Structure 1
Amino acid sequence: MNSVRRTCTIFLFAASIAVSTTSVQAAPTQAESFAFRMAVAESAGTTPEIASFYREQEFAPIWVGATSGHAARRSALIKALSHAQMHGLPAERYDVDGLIAKMQSARSNRDLGALEAALSEAFVRYAQDIQSGLLRPAQIDAGLVRAVQRKPASEHLAAMMRSTDGSYLAQLPPQSSQYRALLKQKMALQSLNEHGEWGPTVPTGKYERGDTGPSVLKLRNRLVAMGFLKPTASPEYDDSMVAAVQAFQSAHGLEPDGVAGQGTIAEINRSPSDRLKAVMVAMERERWLPRERGARHVLVNQADFSAKIVDDGRVTFETRAVIGKNTSDRQSPEFSDVMEHMVINPSWHVPRSIITKEYLPKLRANPNAVRHLEITDRRGRQVNRNAVDFNQFTARSFPFAMRQPPGQSNALGLVKFMFPNKYNIYLHDTPQKSLFAREVRAFSHGCIRLAQPFDFAYALLAKQEEDPKTFFHRVLGTGRETKVDLKQPVPVHLIYRTAFVGPKGDVQYRRDVYGRDQKIWDALQKAGVALPNVQG
């Protein structure tokens, strides 16, 4: 191939990030062309996808050509790899210095072939990391069942080959407003090290309006340093401090009562490095999400205990939520799916895990236990409890199903929202309304309970019914279990985000209720991610 032959005579020199190129005018020999091809094949052999791409392209180079396009791609790649740490990625993983050294020392066609392969391997590694995440979620925690969309190496290489100015690299990081704001916050937290941090921590205690003393002064100074209070010399816990504490509490998922109790002080005393970890984990999590999330979609942030409807990037409905209890078998998983319908006046078909773990022991002790549930056989016929010896069954051999008919006391309440998935997770109403007043709302078996399920239903139905409220209550009034299809299915994203952008563009923080973020941070560190030198 003539283009390959011409490329094989190009020698590269990289004295700086902007890599210069020179060409040798002598015509390449067949042996030189073969040496280039063999070097590419051998060097890329450890990465079958890359080797296959070059074979299909007849070893046409992406990086080591003499054209302005080749130079632009090289320069853009080195620049992007040099800034990898800015995105919370480990710079050592891409070995920029090693690549530059290879450029400087390339003297033969074989050297150029090895360099071409090395640049492509570094590029593909970086492209997949920054677009789809450095980690594999399923390897970190059983609740991280999200299927990450990872583009094949061949697609990245083909796109880069078409990018004559190297601009494809700028398209790789998530383009969401969340990611941009998190990136900005990361830089701000890093710079805190140069500006004296947030000052001394506040002694544990309870502080409220009218209090004075050294500890109140430390609390005031800390709130000022964090930007929640304007500088003042007042030693008293006055109205301005109450308002500042309330603002802090709202930004951290705490009950905004204006009293700095133990929980509030614990969050106020968090160091910048703690917050920086949360932001860097959130950036990695953002890379796991689908790029196309739906013009209208449902977003459930488990760490925030909230469910939102988002239309064209704007939150149009929000309600409090209850998530799975913090035990290994009840934590709510993280994944994306598509809501297809809702069920008004639902029955509760009890999951087998709950039947065998919770209800079978009760039935062994008393056949008339849990009378609110029907016991049915495989044909759906109701079983006479008094005719069954439940002690003969184990969790594995129990042959019956259990169902709670529709009604006000149904465990699912009066409506459930279905996005069929193998985890049997959905959103629903609940008769246990008092739980929504709690600050930490992790009580369910894994499904997401909504504080305002009717309003949630109205918002969904508004796209297909002129009077969604009247329609909903007409169906509800029948008392019959009724499936209502959504004419436009709605993507649902169950996420877990302890750092995220609030409605006013401010970064908010939440507690790591499941401990998942700590696991992700540990995995990031193991992968080579380093925390910048930020003191507390």
Structure 2
Amino acid sequence: MPFAVTRRSFSTCLMTLSAIALIGLAEPVQAQVTAFKQAVAEASYGNEAVATFYRTRGYAPIFTGEQDGTRRAALLAALETADIHGLPAERYDPETLKAAFAAAETARDRGRAEVLAAKMFLQFSTDIQTGAMTPGKIDSEIVRQVPRRDPVLQLQAFAKSSPQGFMKALPPGTQQYNALLAEKLRLEATLGHGGWGPKVSAGKLEPGQSGEQVVALRNRLIAMGFMKRSASGSFDGTLQKAVQQFQIEHGLEPDGIAGPATLAEINIEPQQRLSQVIVAMERERWSNVPLGERHILVNITEYTARIIDNGKETFSTRVVVGSDQSGRRTPEFSDVMEYMVINPTWNVPRSIATKEYLPLLKKNPNAVSHLRVVDSRGRTVSRGSVNFAQYTASSFPFSLKQPPSQSNALGLVKFMFPNPYNIYLHDTPSKNLFARDQRAFSHGCVRLAEPFEFAYALLARQTSDPEGLFHARLNSGSETRVNLEEPVPVHLQYRTAFATAKGRISYRPDIYGRDARIWAAMQAAGVKLGEAGS
């Protein structure tokens, strides 16, 4: 019987053909999706953050999708700025990423390019936001907790944000960072124009002198921006003011005389200053968190402690920091000041008690008579009943304490931010050290030149009569703890290049050699000076 096509059977045939056509179209799309997912999973193997990010979003792309052009462009543009920020640019390699995007013709290609972009994004965003180096691996005395962001959350935030705005907001937005970045660009331009000219070879130059070396001094200060162009060949008042300004910005006594210390700083070349600035930018990234509406800032190399309120300095004092000896260098970290102790007892650190005082006690039991010998129960021990010679540094069973007094090693007040390093700020009876330019003499704690005024400034927020409160406790003669009603963050920093309130960059010597070690590590990672200084 011939095949009869009824209206109903014809309709059924059309439906069947349509279904087949749809299946035929769906299979390649599904295959592409599967291939992309497999490529992403394979390429992200070993990187748990990237793998987790894509797995939790069903492997949807953020870099290689049809709508992701703006995000791709924002990432590539940001990677191109790595050198500007003093980062190891070879870590990110935007050219390789561009090539991967351009060559991504298949789903698997796109998957691999997607993961490559995600990895570069994470590396770059981490480095520019919180530093390319790990400080504790470079120097064990940099015990700062670097505020690394969670990489999965970083990717999720980028996926939901304006790409350009997100990338622009990654570097620290502080006045310090922006001023350092401007100084970096200025120094690179200086190197491109040949530097600051010949060094000054004189041993000392002072007002009234003239000659070739005075001209060299004048020309170098002109090139550095400390004075306007002048044809004078004598050490006149204008040159003296320029020398004084240079001294102020380099932590030297501003006497206007170019002595050996001043000339040594003047003769430092822009390449070294540029490396200091790049290291300072890295240090600023390590501290890329809010410092606190009110906070205390100690710059170890500047020998200065400041109270900062809402971004403005409200108190400043000179300090003495740890000497450049093992176990005595002041570490770098942040903590929170909780209280002060007026008329403090000095509980001698065990390292000092055993290394410095025990040898003296072995020779003479009555040595260091200003200290009490205390047993494990807190009882004062008669020196005559102890044979100190039988003890070693590890077996010495006593502690040493100095009662409150004018001559106490901690002075009359100490400021406590409890930490594992036994570091705090305190008064000192050794006032003569504050007159020196270089003030690294302590066992590690920070001694304040104006401890009473520092206390007044802290207490002013909790009493209308801070001086009266302080001196009432002081005059009692008894050890007294005074809690701060508003604990204050304390940041012990180490900056050999830093911006002043006016935005100019000041420089200080690398007293512990930490910046040199950081710069060596950054160079090893691929950080370079500007092209003219390479």
TM class, shorter-chain normalised? over 0.9
CA shift for structure 1 position 240? 1.6
Contact 1:173-1:287 at 8 Å conserved across structures: yes
String of CA shifts for 1:319-368, please: whole Å, max 9, x gaps. 00000000121000000000000011100000000001000000000000
Distance in 2, Cα, partners of 1:514 & 1:534? 29
User: Partner amino acid for 1:231?
Assistant: R
Contact 1:160 1:166 (C-alpha < 8 Å) held by counterparts? no
Question: Could you tell me which of 198, 201, 204 is aligned with 1:200?
Answer: 198
Q: 2:409 aligns with which of 411, 427, 433?
A: 411
The separation in 2 between residues aligned to 1:121 and 1:85, in whole angstroms, is 19
CA contact (8 A) 2:317 2:450 kept: yes
Tell whether the 8 Å contact from 1:301 to 1:496 is kept in structure 2 after alignment: yes
Aligned to 1:106: 104
Aligned partner of 1:59 in structure 2 is: 59
| 1:13 corresponding residue in structure 2 | none
Residue 35 of structure 1 is matched in structure 2 by: 35
Structure 1: which amino acid aligns with 2:32?
A: E
Counterpart residue number, 2:462: 464
For 2:352, the aligned partner's letter is I
Q: Which has the larger radius of gyration?
A: 2
Equivalent pair of 1:341/1:418 in contact (CA under 8 Å): yes
* CA distance in structure 1 between the partners assigned to 2:374 and 2:532 by the alignment: 60
Q: CA RMSD in A?
A: 1.3
Which residue of structure 2 lines up, in the alignment, with residue 340 of structure 1? 338
Residue among 135, 158, 161 paired with 1:160: 158
Deviation at 1:60, TM superposition (A): 1.5
- Equivalent position to 1:261, from 238, 241, 259: 259
Distance 1:352 1:92 in 2: 47
Aligned identity (percent) is 54
1: CA distance between counterparts of 2:190 and 2:467?
50
SS at match of 2:99: helix
C-alpha distance in 2 between matches for 1:348 and 1:72: 62
Deviation at 1:31, TM superposition (A): 2.1
Distance 1:408 1:164 in 2: 61
Q: Conserved in 1, the CA contact under 8 Å of 2:71 and 2:164?
A: yes
Q: 1:271 touches 1:535 (CA, 8 Å); kept in 2?
A: no
Work out which of the residue numbers 181, 184, 190 in structure 1 matches 2:182.
184
Q: 2:217: which partner in 1?
A: 219
| Native 8 Å contact 1:272 1:534 kept in 2 | no
Hey, what's the Cα distance between the residues in 2 that align with 1:166 and 1:222? 41
**Which of 494, 508, 518 is matched with 2:506 structurally?**
508
Kindly provide the amino acid, as one letter, of the partner of residue 40 in structure 1.
V
Which runs of structure 2 are paired with 1:315-354 in the superposition (5 Å)? 315-354=313-352
The aligned runs of 1:22-421 (5 Å cut-off) are: 28-67=28-67, 70-421=68-419
Q: Structure 1 stretch 349-358 or stretch 186-195: which is displaced more? A: 186-195
Q: Deviations over 1:482-515 (max 9, x none)?
A: 0000000000000000000012111111111111
Alpha-carbon deviation of 1:165?
3.8
1:22 is aligned to: none
Equivalents in 1 of 2:134, 2:277: separation in Å?
A: 18
SS state at 2:83 partner:
helix
Query: Partner of 1:11 in structure 2?
Result: none
CA deviation after TM superposition for structure 1 residue 194, in Å = 3.2
How far apart are the structure 2 equivalents of 1:27 and 1:163? Answer: 34
Q: Tell me by how many angstroms 1:62 deviates.
A: 1.2
Partner Cα separation in structure 1 for residue 415 and residue 209 of structure 2: 48
Q: Residues of 1 paired with 2:26 and 2:202: CA distance?
A: 77
SS at match of 1:84: coil
Stretch deviating more after TM superposition (362-371 or 56-65): 56-65
Paired amino acid for 1:243: K
CA distance in 1, matches of 2:412, 2:202: 44
Question: Residue in 2 aligned with 1:474?
Answer: 472
* TM-score, reference length from structure 2: 0.94
**Partner Cα distance (1:271, 1:64) in 2:** 46
Give me the whole-angstrom Cα distance separating, in 1, the residues matched to 2:254 and 2:499.
19
Q: Check 1:178–1:164 CA distance in 2 against 1; reply closer, same or farther (3 A cut).
A: closer
1: CA distance, partners of 2:139 / 2:374: 35
- Cα deviations by residue, 1:403-443 (Å, 9 ceiling, x for unpaired): 00001000000000000000000000000000000110000
- More deviation in 47-56 or 183-192? 47-56
Using the TM superposition, give the Cα deviation of residue 221 of structure 1 relative to its aligned residue in structure 2, in angstroms. 0.9
1-side partners of 2:531 and 2:79: how far apart?
A: 21
- TM-score, structure 1 length as denominator? 0.94
The one of 438, 449, 452 equivalent to 1:451 is: 449
Q: Is the 8 A contact 2:206 2:258 kept in 1?
A: yes
Q: Which sections of structure 2, spanning at least 5 residues, go unmatched?
A: 1-24
Question: Displacement, 1:91?
Answer: 1.5
CA contact (8 A) 1:273 1:534 kept: no
Query: Are the structure 2 counterparts of residues 318 and 325 from structure 1 closer, same or farther at C-alpha, using a change threshold of 3 Å?
Result: same
Distance 2:28 2:277 in 1: 52
Q: State the AA in 2 paired with 1:35.
A: A
Checking the alignment, whether the CA contact within 8 Å between 1:204 and 1:266 is kept in structure 2 is: no
Q: Distance in 2 between matches of 1:268 and 1:480?
A: 50
1:162-181 C-alpha deviation (Å, 9 max, x unpaired): 01444211111001010001
Write the deviation string for residues 375-428 of structure 1: whole angstroms up to 9, x where unpaired.
Answer: 100110000101110011010000001100001000000000000000000000
Change in Cα spacing, 1:28 to 1:484, as seen in structure 2 (3 Å) is farther
SS in 2 for 1:454: helix
Counterpart of 2:489 in structure 1 is 491
Q: How far 1:533 sits from its partner (Å)?
A: 3.3
The letter of the residue matching 1:487 is E
Please name the residue that 1:3 is paired with: none
Q: State how far apart, in whole Å, the 1-side matches of 2:157 and 2:468 are.
A: 51
Q: Following TM superposition, by how much is the alpha carbon of 1:195 offset from its aligned partner in structure 2, in angstroms?
A: 2.9
Equivalent-residue separation in structure 1 for 2:144 and 2:89 (angstroms): 26
Deviation at 1:30, TM superposition (A): 2.4
Could you tell me how far apart the structure 2 residues matched to 1:47 and 1:250 are? 50
